[in-house]
Chain A
Amino acid sequence: MQRRRETMSYRRRLLELAAPLLALLFALLVGGIFLLAIGKDPLQVYLTMFRFNLSRLDSIGSILYKSTPLIFSGLAVAVGFRVGLFNIGVEGQYFIGALLASIVGFSLHGLPVWIHLPLVVLAGMLGGMLWAWLPIVLKLRRGAHEVITTIMMNHIAYALVLFFITSVFLDTEQEMVKGLGSPQVRMPKLLETARMPTMHGFLETLGIELPRHVYLNWFFPLGILLAVALFVMLWRAAYGYELRAVGGNPAAAETAGINTQRTMLSAFLLSGALAGLVGLSDLLGYFGYLDIDFPKGYGFTGIAVALLARNSMLGVILTAILFGFLRRGAEGVQAFEGVPMDTIVILEGVIILSIVVAVQIVNWYVRRQEKLMKRRQVTMERAGGD
């Protein structure tokens, strides 16, 4: 009997791993249908994507660069889920984070890089926390659902950032090439001391010549370090235990003497601080200024990243890189196969939906198996008693 139970839990673990894989496969299938609809050969397209992604050094670098913001947003969402809160507001939090980081980045003159850069990064985290603060306080004090308030905060953030760019900090001293172009709608450029260095120099010492048009920077290793740190905190520190207990069963956690309100507050602020880092790789590592076309949507993709990783901090690294892989691949298939890049957007959406459905189906299957086993056990015991 004992042995059978062991094989059960082993099979269960296998099944749980199967859910994300099934979801991925299903998404590729749906993507294939769209490709067929426009007269492309799906296998050919996917093959091109793999070849383009894996055969070139600039592709590898680009995949990691594209995955960087997604690591942070995936972690932010996953920390929320772990404590039982749905932070759909990562989107707005990283916009406010980028806004504060940008202001600190262009306004503080004369600081050495080792003071200025950390200040800018802290400003970003502070911005994210600030934007997470109101929703969690309203939730704990007034019972306002965090999903509704954070959605609203997202739209307020978009409008507020637009206002700051166009009306408060608009850079009016842009240098134009004589008679060419029009001024960008953007804030002043960040000072050199606020820019995150790329990894080219470091990689060169390892003998890797990363092409100059790839902007892989130190936020990528920082993201990985953070994921590992969060993993350790979650599974080794008392706070991590409390966080998981509150997420698992708040009533039981409260009975066990955990201050659930305080745990929710701090965990949601942590989620916001992580969210504040999302936009910084683009801001400090690539653009160097905040403009009206600053990339949107990382917050929502972060939900996909976290779900696919089943809220595992280390899993987030893998799934973020997977999404970076898809995004880089999209550029490849657009260039070489004439397939719209938006195929990848469809894939992302389908992955989110199919992962949650797959998890549900696996759960049902496991529950049914357990029930069957229990029934068999009961009949066997009865047979033994006779």
Chain B
Amino acid sequence: MIGGEMLASAIRMTIPILLTALGAIHAERSGIVNIGLEGMMIVGSFWAAFGAYHYGPLAGLLFGIMAGGALALVHAAATVTFRVDHIVSGVALNIIAYGTTRFASLSIFDRATTSPHVQSLPAIDIPVLDRLPLIAPLASNVSPVVILTFALVFLTRWVLSETTFGLRLRAVGENPQAADTLGVNVFAMRYAGVIISGLFAGLAGAYLAVEHTGMYVEGMTQGKGFIALAAMIFGNWGPIGAMGASLLFGLSEALALRQVVEFIPYEFFKMLPYVLTIIVVGGIVQRSRPPAAVGTSYERGE
């Protein structure tokens, strides 16, 4: 029932969720809630298709990453510099992302909902693994972004737990006053956390357009930005946990698409990430522990 093909499909579904969840971890660990990730994925997917259409797939990915980062910069300015409510800013950015993307799509491609077809990066066959019978479908014809994503999981883990940057990022998310007293630039760290989250979400959107579909389609992110938030919470704000949660949600999407389990309707698979998240934040199974200062603005005393 669940063969190698199925798993390969599940991994393809996992990538955009996982990338965005890794980004979300950076923002939240620095103390900023980013529910604008969905919007950052949307601009990422459109501008990646635009870049790939004109300059090739690699440029496309870069365009997507930059678009996500640019929108994140607005979020950082609003929440860190102007100290407005994180949720309000995120809601506004999602609306702005949706509006500007349709606007740009109409003006550039003369269609509101799709871009022309674009080239993908050359797929990779992982040597040796692609000949093992069971793993073969997972290891052949793989997008380089898939490999990059899993590398980023461990890179994120290393950065957060081993580097000075990671330590400072977590410090401003847990106790900004203390971090400030110790000479950490709270504002710079939070800007960094938010912008990194936008770069990751932009790449996730770019992956969807350039690698997964080969074009931009309106609504292609399908709320994955929110599923990524769910994955981050479900994974208890850590990269490895987020990977596990994203794989679970990716598998559930793959199952839903293929209608493998016939007696469970498609819509119930779609609900799964959200239901699980409510269960987790409701503390029904385990206690979730967000960074202590998340969602609050920091103001320097005089």
Interface residues of A (CB under 8 A from B): 34, 37-38, 86, 88, 134, 138, 142-145, 147-149, 151-153, 155-156, 159-160, 162-163, 166-167, 300, 303-304, 307, 340, 342-350, 352-353, 356-357, 360-361
Contacts and interface: CB of A to CB of B under 8 A. Distances in A.
B103 A346 contact: yes
A263 to B, nearest CB: 21
Interface stretch (B157-165, B198-206, B276-284): B276-284
B85 A345 contact: no
A142 B283 contact: yes
Kindly name the residue among A34, A145, A349 whose own CB sees the greatest number of chain B CB atoms within 10 A: A349
Contacts of B106: 340, 342
Contacts of B278: 134, 138, 144, 149, 152-153
A147 B226 CA distance: 12
Interface of B: 33, 35, 74, 78, 82-85, 87-89, 91-100, 102-103, 106-107, 112, 223, 226, 229-230, 233, 265, 267-268, 270-271, 274-275, 277-278, 281-284, 295
B270 A159 contact: yes
A222 B125 CA distance: 64
B274 A349 contact: no
A353 B88 CA distance: 7
Contacts of B97: 349
Contact of B78 (A156, A163, A353): A353
A352 B84 CA distance: 11
5 contacts: A38-B107, A86-B85, A151-B35, A151-B226, A156-B274
Contacts of B271: 155-156, 159-160
A167 B266 CA distance: 10
Nearest to B274: A152
Nearest to B99: A345
B73 to A, nearest CB: 13
B104 to A, nearest CB: 9
A360 B84 contact: yes
Given A352-B88, A356-B88, A163 B283 contact: no
A360 B83 contact: yes
Contact of A303 (B78, B83, B88): B88
Nearest to B103: A342
Contact of A149 (B96, B267, B282): B282
A34 B103 contact: yes
A353 B283 contact: no
A150 to B, nearest CB: 10
Contact of B281 (A138, A344, A347): A138
Given A143-B283, A307-B88, A357 B82 contact: yes
B229 to A, nearest CB: 7
